[in-house]
């Protein structure tokens, strides 16, 4: 299991936002919802910090327009070790790879009218290769069925698709990508605890590497995710980290990660 760092960008700044409050505004203004934290430091500073800590496989997410310069500065500071997401499609994916991204992260572009477009998925795979693609399966439960299955959501996590996060979905889509990224949207940014049933599902069903994000509130959640996910689910922590205004010490998380890699023989 690994700790995966993150850099979320909105209007060029590093921010931490409550995921369920995001809005899909075409204007790009006032679309961020509830913001937990805004950094005065550039994205490249965080990327350099992750590089110093020898953390790999983190992601940079662009929330709306105006983030390209910041995103490219982060990739330049830690080339080939950060993934990029937000507005990625087959037309711009290679540009981001050439700018230093290890992988491109895609969600919304893969869907049309709430349905997965396999032609687009195949097109992207043909352009950049399976080993460069991360499919974002960030998900929510239907408001009408609060104990039912999780469904993939797109367009700032506001539009429900007809794709459940299920063993069959994970198996099917693993043919097109190298990893999955899954935000538990309802808990994202709230520091209210992880979605334990979702982590368990990912650990049991994903045939490829998968990273979970959403709701981490304490250092012990790393151990909880490791237990529930059978050591197969990596974890991202955002708003709860002290470098993003939270209470969990970044240095403690890095130390946890280091010990885990030493015990498991990883890097």
Report pLDDT digits (tens) over 117-156. Answer: 999 999 999 999 999 999 999 999 999 999 999 999 998 7
Q: What is the pTM of this model?
A: 0.93
| Residue 32 vs residue 60, higher pLDDT | 60
pLDDT tens digit sequence for 157-184 = 889 999 999 999 999 999 999 999 999 9
Does residue 31 surpass a pLDDT of 70?
no
Q: What architecture is domain 3-264?
A: Alpha-Beta Barrel (3.20)
Does residue 24 surpass a pLDDT of 60?
no
pLDDT of residue 16: 85
Spatial neighbors of 22 by CB under 8 A, at least 6 apart, are 31, 32, 33, 63, 156, 157, 158
pLDDT of residue 22: 54
pLDDT tens digit sequence for 63-118 = 889 999 999 999 999 999 999 999 999 999 999 999 999 999 999 999 999 999 99
Is the distance from CB of 190 to CB of 215 less than 8 angstroms?
yes
Question: Where do we find the tokens 């808990």?
Answer: 187
Q: Domains of the chain: which residue ranges? A: 3-264
Q: What is the share, in percent, of the chain residues with pLDDT greater than 90?
A: 83
CA atoms within 13 A on the CB side of 51: 15
Closest CA to 214 of 243, 234, 191: 191
Q: What is the mean pLDDT of residues 25-46?
A: 73
Closest CA to 10 of 39, 40, 32: 32
Q: What is the mean pLDDT of the chain?
A: 92
Q: What is the mean pLDDT of residues 245-267?
A: 91
Integer Cα distance of 26 and 122 in angstroms: 27
pLDDT of residue 21: 54
């Amino acid at each position: 299991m690994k700790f995966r760092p993150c850099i979320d960008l909105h209007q060029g700044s590093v921010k931490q936002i409550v995921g369920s409050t995001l809005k899909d505004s075409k204007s790009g203004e006032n679309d961020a919802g509830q913001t937990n934290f805004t950094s005065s430091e550039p994205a490249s500073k965080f990327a350099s910090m992750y590089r110093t800590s020898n953390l790999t496989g983190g992601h940079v997410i662009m929330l709306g327009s105006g983030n390209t310069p910041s995103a490219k500065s982060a990739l330049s500071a830690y080339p080939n070790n950060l993934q990029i997401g937000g507005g990625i499609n087959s037309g711009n994916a290679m540009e981001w790879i050439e700018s230093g991204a290890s992988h491109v992260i895609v969600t919304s572009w893969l869907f049309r009218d709430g349905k997965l477009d396999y032609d687009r998925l195949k097109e992207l795979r043909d352009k950049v290769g399976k080993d460069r693609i991360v499919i974002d399966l960030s998900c929510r439960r239907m408001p009408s069925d609060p104990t039912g299955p999780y469904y993939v959501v797109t367009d700032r996590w506001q539009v429900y698709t007809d794709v459940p996060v299920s063993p069959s979905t994970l198996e099917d889509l693993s043919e097109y990508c190298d990893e999955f990224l899954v935000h538990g949207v309802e808990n994202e940014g709230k520091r209210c605890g992880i979605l334990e049933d979702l982590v368990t599902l990912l650990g049991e069903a994903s045939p490829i590497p998968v990273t979970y994000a959403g709701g981490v509130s304490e250092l012990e959640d790393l151990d909880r995710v490791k237990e529930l996910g059978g050591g197969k689910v990596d974890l991202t922590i955002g708003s709860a980290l002290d470098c993003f205004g939270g209470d969990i010490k970044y240095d403690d998380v890095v130390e946890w990660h280091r010990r885990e890699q030493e015990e498991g023989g990883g890097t």
